[in-house]
Structure formats: C-alpha cells, structure tokens
A and B are shown apart, each in its own frame.
Chain A
Amino acid sequence: MADSLKDKACIVGIGETEYSKNSGRSEMRLALEAIKAACEDAGISPKELDGIVRFSVDSNQVDEIARNFGIENLRFFPEVFFGGGAGCGIVQMAAMAVALGKAKYVACFRALNERSGFRYGQMASAMPMAGHFQYSIPFGLMAPGSMVAVMAIRHIHLYGTKTTDLGEVAVAFRRHANMNPKAMMHDRPLTLEDHANARMIAYPLRLFDYCQETDGAAALIVTSPERAKDLKQKPVYIMAAEQGTGSWIEMMTSYQRENIADLEEYTRLAPHLWKEAGIGPEDIDCAQFYDAFTPLVIMQLESFGFCKFGEGGPFVRDGALQIDGRLPCNTSGGCLSEAYIHGVNQIVEGVRQIRGTSPVQVPDCKHVLVTAGSGIPTGALILRSP
C-alpha cells in the first residue's frame, strides 16, 4: 500500500477565463472554457479526461460537463464540500485517484458568476434560517466578512494586532495585481492611507480588507509523473496535499472552539502537510494563501508556522509579503486583488510560479504553499519543481 501521496501526481495543465464583474455567459460555459483551456495547455483532448472533481457548491454537474465534451468513460467524479474550503481538496482527490490508477487525466475546476449572479452575504433567499445559521443570522451575523470580523477582534484583543497590519496585506497583494494584466485590480493602485481611509464594512474590516467578487472560472489537469513526460508542459509535482477540520465545525461560525483567533483547521493539518512534503516553512519560496479577508492571511502565517502565534501582525510589516519581501505571497493579487474564484485561481498561480511563467515571478521558485478557504473545513498543497 502506498504510504504517501508525495510526488505521485503532477499538475500538467492550467486554464482560466477572463475575470470580470459580469461574464455575460452561463456558469456552465465558463466551466467548459476553463477546462478546455487547461486541456489545451496540457496537450490533451478533453475527451481524454476520465476524472472530473467539482466543488459541491458549484452549479455545474459532472454529467453535463461530460456530455458537452463527449466524454464516454468517466471513471472518477467526486465532489468536495464546504465552499472555498474545497479548493485544495479537489486537487488532493485528483492526485489520490491518479496515484492509485483510478484515473489517468483528472480535471479540477471552479466556475461561478458570484458578482452578476448570487452574491455571498445576500441571505434573503435562504430564509428562514435552518442548520447552524439559525443561531447566528437572526442576530444579524449574515455576511462572510462579519463572520471573520469577530475573529479579527479576538486577534487584536489577544495579540495587539493593528489594522495597519491588515493594510500591509491588502497593499502587498494589490501591488502584485498591478503587475498582473489579468487581475481585476490591475489598474488600481492602493496605499496604506487608502486602506485606512476606506469605508468601514464590518468593524474592524474596511473595504480593502475584502476580496473581489468575480465572474469567471479556473481549472487544472492532474496526471501521473509517467504520463506527464509526454505532455507539453514542465510538470508541477504535488509534494503534499491535505484536508482538515478543527473542533466544533460550523460553516464560518465555529465560535465554540477555545481560540477563534487561531484558524484551527490549518493548525491541525499543517504538521501532516509538512511531514508528507518532508520540508518546512523555511523551504517555501512563495505562498498563495486563501485571502477572502486580510486577517485570514495573518492567522495562516501563524498556523503554518511561518511565525509564532500572535506574531502574524509584526510579520507582515514593512512589505514582507511583497514580491521583494521575505515571503512573497499571493503573487497574482490573490482573492483580494486578482479574482475570487474560490481560491482555484491561486492554485493556478502556484503552478505558474513553479513553471516560472508568472507575471510577478519569484526568482528560482522551487516550493509553493497553496491554501484553501478559511474558517471552514479546508485543505492545502505544496507544489514543487521537477
């Protein structure tokens, strides 16, 4: 029995649509475009796909995708739950299937019209409130940003984190977006003053602590190292892929757990991730953190061991996360400034960094950490160069 997933699978294709506020086409069309582009990038036909992994929240079903491409023998078609938490889990699923010979070429994707269609935080259609939301939404905690704001207040209370530290995160990723022509915020510079003076959305979070809302899609193709040799691109090896939860799981509101200033999901999965990869935080050349909101980046730096708990605020100061800083992060601009494709665009950027083809390229980039959604069951990947 295989005792590790390390280096048993590679990402060999990446595909994206444009990122916009109004795609003007269906989520199915976006998914097909991104998957087709990823196949072309890899040098395979979509008809060769025998695995497709979807986000449970995605509106696109696997059967319709398979019909569109005329795929006749799909052998592997799971889905991963928990919204943006599925981001790296879809790749873990694909890698396991490939490693065990259950599929040859697996597509992982996310497609959404989050801006022109249903926007997160728009709760009206879900009333009255069932599940765990029956305990939170009637009191007004309705939007993801508000659900993270209460965690940020704890971080500030326990550790003295400053809102200017949140600004450092926003400014760093915006600088990268300004260098990335695909980024929604490509033409919009941001300063720490702009961040501090922006309108308040959910105290202590202001406008630029929030990610983009995006219409678009991103996709990846996963296969074995042997098959990768015959394909177009330099393979990007999946060194480690983990999913994990914390205690007292709720979607975004796991507030019964002892410490909500710690993103417990990552803290628990990180040791497994580092052990499988056989490397540590000091070996990471750049990180693509799930950054739906700025405080989540500061907390993840702590959970993954880039600094001690409580030191995420000081860590990000003086441009540490920028391309020329000590840990370049979210080099495409991330969810904050490139696009919100539920973090799958950040896996795509991780692949580009290993290939050496990012518009915001980290020199000699060998190891990349990518993480999935925060405050929910989630996942993470470590990618490496061949």
Chain B
Amino acid sequence: MAEFKIPKPLPLPSEDSKPYWDSCQRQELLIQRCDDCGYYWLPPSILCPRCMSTNFQRVKASGKAKIFTWEVTHQALYPAFDTPFHVAIVELEEGPRMHTNIVGCKNEDLYVDMPVELFFEKVEDQDWYLPKFKPVES
C-alpha cells in the first residue's frame, strides 16, 4: 500500500506576486530594482519601498548569497516536512533577503554568513519549482 504523504504547502500567488512565482517556474529569480533610486527589494510589491516609485524592472538575481540566519525544526504540528528539517533566511548579494532551504548541507553544518548559491528544486509530487540554495563549493 502506498504511504500517504501530506502535501507540502505551496504559495498562492496574488496578481502582484505572480510575476515573481512565474519567474521561479522558469527557474530564474527575478527581484525588483527601482529605476529612480536603484534600490533592490523582495518580497514583490507595487511601489519601491524606499522612494515609492512605480518605475521598476524585474531583474535576474546573481544567485550569490550568504546565510543571514536559520533554525532547525525538530517537532512540527503540521507534518508536511520530515523532521528534523531546517529553514534558512539568506541575504542576496543585491541586498534583499528570502526564505529558503540549503540543500546538500547537514543541519548541524549551517552557520551565519555561510556562502551559498541559488538553484531551483521541484517540490515533491507537485508541479512547482521553489528557489533553493546550496553551499558554494570551495
């Protein structure tokens, strides 16, 4: 008998976040850059959070980042992920931060400022790609 697995929670894109998630499905990470003040930001929004300009481009992130912080969940009320699992907040080279998982790294090897690089990973049993990171090979 096949083991029943609880599906992983997926994003529900809004009209304003759809371009971001669509870019992820094409396996590129688009961040917003203000035409007027040059500011880069995430998560997606309508106005530049610094100068309120509506003039912006969605530009491809370099994919270079470092771990800003992290945690390891050992006990979860909602059993979609096999424990223990971690979540990391990484800071992109361009400045914005994002939630992710570091693939190919043991939980106990995570550390603040660890250099990591972007890739895309398909969600198990779902037609969805999420932006993930892996340690930079030295």
Contact = CB atoms under 8 A, between A and B. Distances in A.
B69 A151 contact: yes
Nearest to A119: B77
A333 B80 CA distance: 33
A341 B77 CA distance: 20
A129 B69 contact: no
B112 to A, nearest CB: 5
Interface string B3-25: 00010111111100100000000
A141 B87 contact: yes
A153 B12 contact: no
B100 A202 contact: no
Nearest to B101: A139
A135 B43 contact: yes
Interface residues of A, number: 38
A320 interface: no
Contacts of A28: none
Contacts, number: 121
A57 interface: no
B70 interface: yes
B10 A138 contact: yes
Question: Most chain-A CB neighbours within 10 Å: which of B85, B86, B96?
Answer: B86
B69 A135 contact: no
A140 B14 CA distance: 20
Given A139-B130, A143-B76, A150 B70 contact: yes
A299 B99 CA distance: 23
Interface string A251-265: 001011000100000
Nearest to A139: B99
Given A128-B12, A143-B77, A255-B68, A150 B89 contact: yes
Nearest to B44: A135
A124 B75 CA distance: 16
A142 B69 contact: no
17 contacts: A123-B9, A124-B6, A124-B78, A129-B11, A136-B99, A139-B130, A140-B101, A143-B78, A146-B87, A154-B69, A157-B112, A200-B72, A202-B72, A203-B84, A203-B107, A204-B71, A260-B69
